[in-house]
A = this chain, B = another copy of it.
Amino acid sequence: MADTRTVFFVSDGTGITAEAWGAALLSQFDTSTFENHTIAFVTNVLDAEKTVQRIDRANVPGQRPIVFSTTVDQDIKNILSTSKSLFIDLFDQTLPTLELELGVKSAPIKGSAHGISNATKYQQRMAAIEYSIEHDDGQSLRALDQADIILVAPSRCGKTPTSMYLSLQYGVKAANFPIVDEDFNTLKLPASLEKTSDKAFGLISTPQRLQTVRSERRPNSKYASIEQCRFEIDSAMHIFEKYKIPYLDSSTKSVEELASVAMDIKGLRS
């Protein structure tokens, strides 16, 4: 029986882990429909009681809400679990197994379940995002040799979001460079990239997809024509193969996937 449920991701922190964890589980039920809500920063008894009220207002007979909770504090958890819901706790099921394995008891740390591992890594991410913005779309050649990866692609193949994701998620300094008319005609990398081509990673798309995306920006232009899109993609592939630059088709992959595959291929993953 198909089902429509209200889902709450409840957290004493940002709710980001609760969302990722819960969404992964719900993704396995593609015949059901879920209406998702996030309730973040539930850090005290009053918040917890309000959260219970909100969950209970969404209660429908036979279709009680599903709650994915990543709250750590036992008092708060006790209150949340009184809601008229299927209450699923991230820690309940797995912490005992880990405690047994590690031979220590866990020490509840409120709001800590958001996965930022330490301050150093955090500073690294902040520096990376600044670097990536400065080096978006070939804007700056300054310190290009400090890039961990340089995304290279024709206009509108996903360079910018992939760069931002690489820096925010992985703390990787990601520059990105457009391939433009001159490069297509000479089938050469921009001169400024030739000596750092070992850091280059290419993106292409399909002509149809690129036409659609470009048409949103400049309808009926040469830029958005299927011939131009096909020419640019073909030329880009030529360049990538000539310089032995690995590349991906962004038309069938999410930014998360593009970034993650690029991390693997360029050996940037620890």
Of A52-60, A111-119, A179-187, the stretch lying at the interface with chain B is A111-119
The answer to the question of A256 belonging to the interface, with a C-beta cut-off of 8 Å to chain B, is yes
A13, closest chain B residue (CB): B257
Count of this chain's copies in the oligomeric assembly: 2
* Chain B residues with CB under 8 A of A83: none
Task: Convert A136-149 into 0s and 1s, putting 1 for each residue whose CB lies closer than 8 angstroms to a CB of B.
Answer: 10000000000000
Interface residues of A in 24-51 (CB under 8 A from B): 24-32, 36-38, 40-41
* Chain B residues with CB under 8 A of A91: 25, 28
A27-B102 contact, Cβ under 8 Å, with A17-B20, A261-B41: no
The answer on a CB contact under 8 Å between A269 and B106 is: no
The answer on a CB contact under 8 Å between A113 and B27 is: yes
* Chain B residues with CB under 8 A of A261: 40-41
The answer on a CB contact under 8 Å between B29 and A126 is: no
Of A74-82, A161-169, A191-199, A232-240, the stretch lying at the interface with chain B is A161-169
The answer on a CB contact under 8 Å between B104 and A25 is: no
CB distance from A19 to the nearest CB of B (A): 7
The answer to the question of A151 belonging to the interface, with a C-beta cut-off of 8 Å to chain B, is no
What are 13 A-B contacts with C-beta separation under 8 Å?
Answer: A13-B260, A14-B256, A24-B70, A27-B115, A28-B106, A28-B108, A28-B113, A31-B104, A32-B102, A36-B270, A37-B269, A40-B264, A168-B255
